[in-house]
Amino acid sequence: MGRELNRLSATAAARKLAAREITAVGLVSECLERIAEREPTVHAWAHIDVDSALKRARALDAGSASALLHGLPIGVKDLLDTCDMPTSYGSRIYEDHRPVGDASSVAPARAAGAIVIGKTVTTEFATFHPGPTCNPRNPLHTPGGSSSGSGAAVADWMVPLAFGSQTAGSIIRPAAFCGVVGYKPTYGTINRVGAKMISDTLDTLGVLARTVADAGLFVAALSTRRELAIDETIADGPPRIGFCRTYEWNRAHADTMAAFEETGRRLSGVGASVRDVSLPEALAGLAEAQTSIMVSEVAKCLSYEWLVHREDLSSEMITMIEAGLAVTPESYDAAQSLARTGRRLLPQVFSDCDVLIAPSAIGEAPMGIQATGDPLFNRIWTLLRTPCVHVPCALGSRGLPLGVTVVGPIQADRVTLMAANWVQAKIGLADN
């Protein structure tokens, strides 16, 4: 397929675009060719606008190349409003919805020179009822959710960057299942206006990419934090790593356990300081607390859809809302109290390490696309609001990707990205 520009990392493509070694038209064209070839199998896209993408690329090629994302094709998760494309939030209730403006995350992406190829598939309201997307590594398996289309599009070389969002595990899990990098920044780093809210406490915007540096570049452009655009070359020494199996460790599959332990040995072998770290016993109930908060807030945020369009909700959504309505105020308050306690105790957890490494998923991507897998290992970090970066580093017994989550202290996103970049450079899968 030509020079295969679509396989360039975002940072590499940005350098070549800035130096005029390649054109935005050439890059977008090869991404569109890849989409045309693979979309009938992968089903990553809810909407594609070929003409607008090429028009935008031609305009960018005619101007200067100073913007951070100049000429880079991106996918926008269909949870985020776009002024020129439909936004359905993964629900048939909104299948004809046409927002009048861009989300406050999409607008700066365009201003930074990004080219929106289209809207990537999300699960229903970014929860658990899946769309048609298949895992590009093996179409018989789920790509994860809710950022299913974004994870699949990046993994299948359709675009180098795509938006994700996470309320439980919707960035890290599809990144893990599809074998790409997923970056959930510290809560609030990327503004959420124009994203369909399902949980004010938990909803966090982030990105999916092929390299850690790519992810940092994207989030730097979406926020005011230019320090996140890290140099992909390894400048710092090896990080001090705390190996955190979490209180959910006994739920991990054998492949995950083996890959996780091997990751620790490999990191020690390349110079990292690795020590076991346990979360305080007081935090053993964080996963359950996250679930209670999530379902309760989903029920509140989707009150219009529940009261007016219940017949158009999936059975999974109805079950979730019913569970949320059953959460008592006392239970909700207790869950929020535990979350605040957890955040207060985080400095103690990180006292002797720069970052933690934790499991990203229970196991490889499950067979079938009728469900998106369990976000168990992601729930606590979403609730604690820490920056998280998934790094693919192994293959399971079915040949599907496995990896680890690099977790940093709240607002220590650059430190987290630098450590994750080091991990990816040392032990990451070769094709990412």
φ, ψ (nearest 5 deg) of residue 194? 90, 5
Structural domains in the chain, sorted by start = 5-228 (3.90.1300.10), 241-277+353-427 (no CATH)
Measured between alpha carbons, how far is 353 from 87 in angstroms, rounded to an integer? 42
What pLDDT shows up at residue 3? 61
Identify the pLDDT of residue 230: 95
| Percentages (nearest 5) of helix, strand, coil residues in the chain | 45, 15, 40
* pLDDT of the residue at 124: 98
**Catalytic residue (one of 16, 77, 119, 196):** 77
Residue of 29, 170, 314, 360 marked catalytic: 170
pLDDT for 233 equals 77
Each residue's pLDDT tens digit in the chain (432 positions)?
456 999 999 999 999 999 999 999 999 999 999 999 999 999 999 999 999 999 999 999 999 988 999 999 999 999 999 999 999 999 999 999 999 999 999 999 999 999 999 999 999 999 999 999 999 999 999 999 999 999 999 999 999 999 999 999 999 999 999 999 999 999 999 999 999 999 999 999 999 999 999 999 999 999 999 999 998 876 678 999 999 999 999 999 999 999 999 999 999 999 999 999 999 999 999 999 999 999 999 999 999 999 999 999 999 999 999 999 999 999 999 999 999 999 999 999 999 999 999 999 999 999 999 999 999 999 999 999 999 999 999 999 999 999 999 999 999 999 999 999 999 999 999 775
Rounded to an integer, what distance in angstroms lies between the CA atom of residue 422 and that of residue 402? 18
Q: Prior bond to 397 cis, omega within 30?
A: no
Distance CA 127, CA 129 (A): 6
- Name the nearest CA neighbour of 363 among 420, 407, 393, 403: 403
DSSP structural state of residue 280? -
Compute the distance between CA of residue 275 and CA of residue 243 in angstroms, rounded to an integer.
6
Helix (H) or strand (E) holding 299: helix 286-301
Catalytic site residue from 88, 91, 105, 146: 146
Are the CB atoms for 341 and 282 separated by under 8 Å?
A: yes
Is 91 a known active-site residue? no
Cβ atoms of 383 and 346 closer than 8 Å: no
The residues, any chain, with a CB within 8 Å of residue 308's CB and separated by 6 or more, are none
Place of tokens 């992601």: 378
Active site residue 303: no
Most distant CA atoms of the chain, gap in Å: 61
pTM for the whole thing? 0.98
| 119 in catalytic set | no
Instruction: Give residue 232's pLDDT.
Output: 83
Burial 294-330 (b: 16+ CB within 10 A, else e): bbbbbbebbeebbeeeeeebbeebeebbebbeebeee
Handedness of CA 291, 296, 300, 306 (dihedral sign): positive
DSSP 283: G
Confidence (pLDDT) at 235: 62
Angle, CA of 368, 374 and 379, to the nearest 5°: 155
- Per-residue CA distances from 198 to 124, 125, 389 (Å): 11, 7, 22
Amino acid letter, residue 306? W
